Amino acid sequence: MIPRLETRRLILRGWQAADFDGFAAIYGDADVMRFLGPVQSRSDAWNGLARTIGHWALRGYGTWAVERKADHALIGRVGLINPEGWPGLEVGWTLARAHWGHGFASEAASAALSYGFLTQSVDRLISCIDPGNHASQAVARRIGEQKGPRQDLVVGGQAHPVDIWSITRAQWERRSGAGQG
């Protein structure tokens, strides 16, 4: 049900039971969670992984497990997010701290962005980014998104200010050459 995508260095694949320990470690890391919410217990991470997998069943898209080809290590999750009440179809990324700064987020997010425009009938894709998360802002720029308005994103009954970064289908087509042919 979850399609497999490959980039030069990465495999974006469906989730497996064996991924849980890595997933829990990522969401249990205070540095990773700095802009995403509170550090998650293993129990909360289990619920988060179940929601991640369920997103595919409910929406027909979701986030992939990101595996590095060189050693098959699970390095994070990247993909399309659109839970109830979200401001639009989002390209999101979360990588384990050990894998920051290597271009993996941009590489995987670019693949997810292309998948989104190729499979979904949307005029734009967004990324909801904490105003202080400069690393994610850099990823958004690298995949062609531009900073838009700030708004409160309500998660778990709490409002979190985010900047809505976005790219339109036309902008993506110009950048990727997808509209030519």
Q: Which value, in Å, is the radius of gyration of the alpha carbons in the chain?
A: 15
Count CB neighbours of 148 within 10 A: 14
CATH class label, 5-175: alpha beta
Distance between alpha carbon 166 and the CA centroid of its chain, in Å? Answer: 13
CB within 8 Å of 176: residues ≥ 6 apart: 114
Token pair 């829990």: residue:
24
| Partner residues linked to 80 by β-bridges | 91
Given a contact cutoff of 8 angstroms between Cβ atoms, the answer to whether 63 and 92 are in contact is yes
Q: Would you say the pTM of this structure is higher than 0.85?
A: yes
pLDDT given for residue 7 in this prediction: 98
pLDDT digits (tens, 9 = 90+) for 107-145: 999 999 999 999 999 999 999 999 999 999 999 999 999
